[in-house]
Structure 1
């Protein structure tokens, strides 16, 4: 038995209609080609991945997040914090592929493979396999258990029900509601030895991305969940009441997720507008110095996670020697500085560049 998708009040329905209008507007904006969209996508993807792993206690320096998620930096395999970020980013890349696959179908292996993507670096946690032992979630206060999952023996059957529901359950429910319920089903069954929260958020993003309105990185709510972690845990505890009780009312959870989506879509709109302003300021800076227009690309990259020579050369459609010359010119001007060596070399914006943009 799974949680029933609740009947929505008129107020919730109206808020969903408001969200639909805002998501459609955001989808139109991000679907319109602009020179800054690529960097913004990398930024948003990195922020979402970092937010999700931070909920579970992993921590990565802010200056490295975008570079790690984009593959510009390669982490030490023994560094679990950075590996968690890279693995989550890889899982979300998988989500992006499945979101546009015309032959996609929900199977248990979809969920198991996404878990392996996100938790494969934790070999002792049986990545890609259902748990075979009891499990509980410690209370945030550290006093006792906040939640005890169903018996391990019931996990395969319950996950079979979840997969069946994902395939054809509540087909007329709003996609945001279905995504929230998918999250609730998974986190309540708690089917894995570890990474259940990560996997639940990833599957929620996949359900949303399958509706075709927004790319996974723009439709996810990880940042809101991270910034409101206490509220996130509190509403789950309210709905779950300490153990697997799928006859309980899931309405508070739907209300919480809807509020998260409304806040998140407004945040993304603000980021789009900020990206446009930043690009225009960089264009002015480059033109005022008589530099080639392409340098806007590398300056933009330097501000968001750092610029890597080969990636810049590919985006600007120039040779590697030309890219190297461009980077030297910007370094000599004091706008970028080199960080790292060999495979992890990148060029990041200096305080001078940021001051120049702030002055605009």
Structure 2
């Protein structure tokens, strides 16, 4: 799964698949992503996390790249006519970011999504349009990267000969069945990290790496995450230190764990709330179906509606307490007992002892 390449000038380069990543965290994150593609998220349960997410992601990506403008200024430039920018390189770069994110939004689900030379050079051409004379060509000179973000600048491989070799090896490795079988989180993270470490282009290599990661999620049919990551990276105090440690060690495990935490923390709680809503709706639908097929009476349906709020009851309370008397005030104890037996037979209540019963919402889960 790991792959070592001997370069001409930069020594040995190890493509490390992150075998040291926390397996349980990775499984939880992959499970969260599995649900993300299938579970509807109710806007009122998500709070502000997904509000204008695509716009905020574009802004975060541009700020990570060093283009410090306000959200409204960034949006204004992205929506302008590119002919208006003249020699304003910052405006051109922001406009290019907008085009790159438009391509991300347009990316459809693709089971065989390849991170190949055509994809990488095309994406870099979008990011570097009107900014570079050779936007799709690998660099052939040294660069000093992350001068402000790292404790000391990072010096990636310097020659085009090495970069050509490393990128060819990267394409073979990242698209191999072994890496694809590692899962979406691992493959997306490895793409991000390897492109950072190789730093193939003179311009926009960092933005290219983050966007490639997002494209992997988008092509897998995952919602929210392709845009969420850049907003979290921008706010996080851990992102750049973890990247720096990766460039020093070549071990992606810490970064993979970091991304797993982002996915679970951001989506997990929202999914739990959405699942609770879905389960409640399904339970209500099941009760309506039982009523329509005359498996339960109107009186039992009314009792269940009360128990949705109350949770439990005692047999004696049905004929004595005000909230139940509209249903049971005028019936015999035999009828009360018969109704309790019927709900028990259907698994809709559980006997807690001492004539106390609780509503069993877990009936839909076989419990």
Q: Give TM class, smaller chain.
A: 0.5 to 0.7
Q: 1:233 and 2:240 equivalent?
A: yes
- From 122, 128, 134, the equivalent of 2:131 is 122
Q: Within 5 A, what are the aligned runs for 1:207-356?
A: 207-214=216-223, 217-218=226-227, 220-228=228-236, 230-241=237-248, 248-265=250-267
Q: Deviations over 1:213-263 (max 9, x none)?
A: 326644x410111112x522211221222xxx7xx4221222222223334
- From 173, 177, 184, the equivalent of 1:175 is 184
Distance in 2, matches of 1:237 and 1:261, equals 21
What is the CA-CA distance between 1:159 and the residue it aligns to? 0.6
Distance in 2, matches of 1:28 and 1:86, equals 33
Q: 1:134 and 2:105 equivalent?
A: no
Residues 115, 199 of structure 1: 8 Å contact kept: yes
What is the CA-CA distance between 1:62 and the residue it aligns to? 1.9
Distance in 2, matches of 1:53 and 1:119, equals 13
Q: 1:88 and 2:97 equivalent?
A: yes
TM-score (norm 1): 0.61
Q: Which runs of 5+ in 1 are unaligned?
A: 273-360
- From 198, 203, 206, the equivalent of 1:197 is 206
Structure 1 range deviating more: 98-107 or 83-92: 98-107
Residues 180, 254 of structure 1: 8 Å contact kept: yes
Distance in 2, matches of 1:81 and 1:27, equals 36
What is the CA-CA distance between 1:163 and the residue it aligns to? 1.3
Q: Deviations over 1:12-57 (max 9, x none)?
A: 222233323433444445588x9xx9xx989211111111121121
Distance change >3 Å, CA 15–CA 143, structure 1 → 2 = closer
Distance in 1, matches of 2:39 and 2:76, equals 25
Distance in 2, matches of 1:131 and 1:181, equals 21
TM-score (norm 2): 0.60
User: Alignment partner of 2:155: what SS?
Assistant: strand
Distance change >3 Å, CA 215–CA 166, structure 1 → 2 = farther
Q: Which one has a bigger Cα radius of gyration?
A: 2
Distance change >3 Å, CA 129–CA 255, structure 1 → 2 = same
Correspondence for 1:3: 15
Distance in 1, matches of 2:225 and 2:77, equals 18
Distance change >3 Å, CA 143–CA 23, structure 1 → 2 = closer
User: Alignment partner of 2:175: what SS?
Assistant: helix
- From 16, 23, 27, the equivalent of 1:17 is 27
Residues 96, 215 of structure 1: 8 Å contact kept: no
Distance in 2, matches of 1:25 and 1:149, equals 40
Q: Deviations over 1:327-349 (max 9, x none)?
A: xxxxxxxxxxxxxxxxxxxxxxx
Residues 60, 82 of structure 1: 8 Å contact kept: no
Distance in 2, matches of 1:15 and 1:148, equals 30
- From 159, 167, 173, the equivalent of 1:165 is 173
Structure 1 range deviating more: 188-197 or 127-136: 127-136
Correspondence for 2:154: 146
Residues 142, 155 of structure 2: 8 Å contact kept: no
Structure 1 range deviating more: 148-157 or 96-105: 96-105
User: Alignment partner of 1:139: what SS?
Assistant: coil
- Name the count of aligned residue pairs: 256
Residues 138, 147 of structure 1: 8 Å contact kept: no
What is the CA-CA distance between 1:110 and the residue it aligns to? 0.9
Q: Deviations over 1:100-139 (max 9, x none)?
A: 3577544302100001111213135x31211121222253
User: Alignment partner of 2:52: what SS?
Assistant: helix
